Structure 1
Amino acid sequence: MKEAASPSVCNRVKEKLSRNELVLSMTVRLVRTIEIAVLAKSAGFDSLYIDLEHSSFSLETTSQICMASFNLGVAPFVRLASTAPEYIGRVLDGGAVGIIAPHIQSAADAEAVVRAAKYPPLGTRSFTGSLPQLEFRSYPSTEIFSALNQSTVVMAMIESADALDAVEEIAAVDGVDVLFIGTNDLCASLGIPGQLDHPRVREAYVRTIDACRKRGKHVGIGGLVSNPKLAAEFVELGARYVSTGTDLSFLSSAANAKASQMRDLCAG
């Protein structure tokens, strides 16, 4: 099979992780047009993820951004609003090269997501031809199954005390590539809301990183936009997929900085 755009883009992310290199991502939850993919490319991001859990984006908008993104060489992932199999299938059929599954509490939850994201024999994803990941070309189904099963990234979010208790079992699930820690939700679940630098948070990262190292998996960092030094500390410990912030936070931060700068310059 001729290598198509999105599998090669996704495989580059997997290759960087396998070489223990940093993978930087930006989150999309404000900009609804394909220009955001161009901005991600220009800024040097390896990936972006569209946050359907915390936005009102439609699947149509999501698909358009995904297709623009992988054609520019930026791996498009989607944080799901639902882990129902039919929803996962539609997100992937629309052009995403990976999914971020929230509210994973157990190995059984992670296994269900993998089954929905993978074609037989690894899963039960329903097949349709002419996928955007393959540039709408037709290939034998066995070749499609093999190529997309290999390239599709599955991230399981660790964002609760229950998930942390089961982190070893979740990391052991075949087909899960990344355990992505949602630091803010995890803090709330642990009874320390907002305390991102609490020792229990560091313990959670150490525990998750250790579990992933044993299984050849990787750890993602989320929710530390306000504390980049802490994110850097967790990278030093071994986390490699870093969510650096949202398009909304980038715009707000730059706008506030510019307004403050001009007030200071014009004060005299």
Structure 2
Amino acid sequence: MKASLNEILRNPVKEKMARGEVVASMMVRLVRGVEIVRIAKTAGFDTFYIDMEHCSFSLEATGQICMAALEAGIPAFVRVPANTPEYISRVLDGGASGVIAPHVRSAEQARAVVRAARFAPQGDRSANGSLPHLHYRSFPTAEANLALNRATMVIVMMEAVEALERVEEIAAVEGVDMMLIGTNDLTAEWGVPGQYDDPRVAAAYERTIAACARHGKHVGVGGLGSRPDLVAQFVRMGARFVSTGTDLGFLLAACTAKASAVASLIPSTSGDN
């Protein structure tokens, strides 16, 4: 028996955050093959996102990974290199379950992202009759577009001081699901790159979480993989999505630990094997 449209388009990340639970995510910047999908799911992540802003992945490689994620039942998001329809609509058509828009600085920019990511009446994304999300099955356009709008996540990144100053109006934009704070870029704009204990960091999270709570949106923690204490603090404050780090960072950390362990071994001097 074939699954229904709503069963096909379930988004477990949306469902988990709606229950008030915390979503664990990772970034993909290194592994260009579908193996990363199984690795992420086996590791226990709820989702992952391909960081096209900071890697050289092609749209083809990105689409292949996203389609594999659909089959594995783990939503894959894509951080696009530019907040333009030709990127946003194409990564979504290619199999992404959501889009992450970097460097959003105003409500106007957030609305432009929503328009590119959602079908009418919420946006002006062009209809595509054959999508991997639908198992390439044919459904009535009106029904399919409505269901896709519900399932697709639109995430805007708060990583500029200008965005923080306009956080209330950005949080109020209809069609935005989550605001992901880019802590590294924020501290860089303040002239204190990587200084996460700067009081402005906690204040930025507090302000964003409060604004999102008023408008029914979620907040994500980004750039704090090295500071689990701060991640825990911001989750207690209300954040519900945690970006834990990159596939490259995880691989390098594990390799470094293994190499260091061997380097620390003391060979026997007795001549025994």
State the TM bucket, normalised to the shorter chain: over 0.9
TM-score normalised by the chain length of structure 2? 0.95
Aligned residue number for residue 259 of structure 2: 259
Shift of 1:179: 0.4
Asked whether the equivalents of residues 5 and 134 of structure 1 are also in contact (C-alpha less than 8 Å), the reply is: no
Asked whether the equivalents of residues 167 and 208 of structure 1 are also in contact (C-alpha less than 8 Å), the reply is: yes
SS in 1 for 2:229: helix
Structure 1, 67-76 or 178-187: larger mean CA deviation: 67-76
Give the Cα–Cα distance (whole angstroms) in 1 for the partners of residues 7 and 64 of structure 2: 15
Sort the Cα spacing of 1:266 and 1:188 in 2 relative to 1 into closer, same or farther, 3 A.
Answer: same
Aligned length: 266
Point out 4+ residue stretches in structure 1 off by more than 6 angstroms. Answer: none
Give the Cα–Cα distance (whole angstroms) in 2 for the partners of residues 16 and 122 of structure 1: 23
Map 1:170-249 → 2, pairs under 5 A: 170-249=170-249
| Runs (5+) with no aligned partner, structure 2 | 269-273
Aligned residue number for residue 93 of structure 1: 93
Aligned residue number for residue 82 of structure 2: 82
Give the Cα–Cα distance (whole angstroms) in 1 for the partners of residues 120 and 53 of structure 2: 27
SS in 1 for 2:265: helix
Aligned residue number for residue 2 of structure 1: 4
Asked whether the equivalents of residues 6 and 147 of structure 2 are also in contact (C-alpha less than 8 Å), the reply is: no
Give the Cα–Cα distance (whole angstroms) in 2 for the partners of residues 259 and 196 of structure 1: 29
Asked whether the equivalents of residues 25 and 49 of structure 1 are also in contact (C-alpha less than 8 Å), the reply is: yes
Shift of 1:148: 0.3
Shift of 1:5: 6.9
**Amino acid in structure 1 at the alignment position of 2:182:** G
Aligned residue number for residue 271 of structure 2: none
Shift of 1:267: 5.2
Give the Cα–Cα distance (whole angstroms) in 1 for the partners of residues 74 and 196 of structure 2: 29
Give the Cα–Cα distance (whole angstroms) in 2 for the partners of residues 130 and 60 of structure 1: 17
Shift of 1:7: 2.0
Aligned residue number for residue 106 of structure 2: 106
Map 1:135-174 → 2, pairs under 5 A: 135-174=135-174
1:137-158 deviation line (CA, Å, top 9, x unaligned): 1111101111101110000000
Give the Cα–Cα distance (whole angstroms) in 2 for the partners of residues 221 and 168 of structure 1: 18
Shift of 1:82: 1.1
Give the Cα–Cα distance (whole angstroms) in 1 for the partners of residues 86 and 45 of structure 2: 30
Give the Cα–Cα distance (whole angstroms) in 2 for the partners of residues 66 and 39 of structure 1: 14
Give the Cα–Cα distance (whole angstroms) in 2 for the partners of residues 202 and 76 of structure 1: 28
Give the Cα–Cα distance (whole angstroms) in 1 for the partners of residues 14 and 90 of structure 2: 23
**Amino acid in structure 2 at the alignment position of 1:53:** E
Shift of 1:248: 0.1
Give the Cα–Cα distance (whole angstroms) in 2 for the partners of residues 267 and 23 of structure 1: 45
SS in 2 for 1:129: coil
TM-score normalised by the chain length of structure 1? 0.96
SS in 1 for 2:181: strand
Q: Percent identity?
A: 58
**Amino acid in structure 2 at the alignment position of 1:83:** N
**Amino acid in structure 1 at the alignment position of 2:5:** E
1:30 aligns with 2:30: yes
Aligned residue number for residue 131 of structure 1: 131
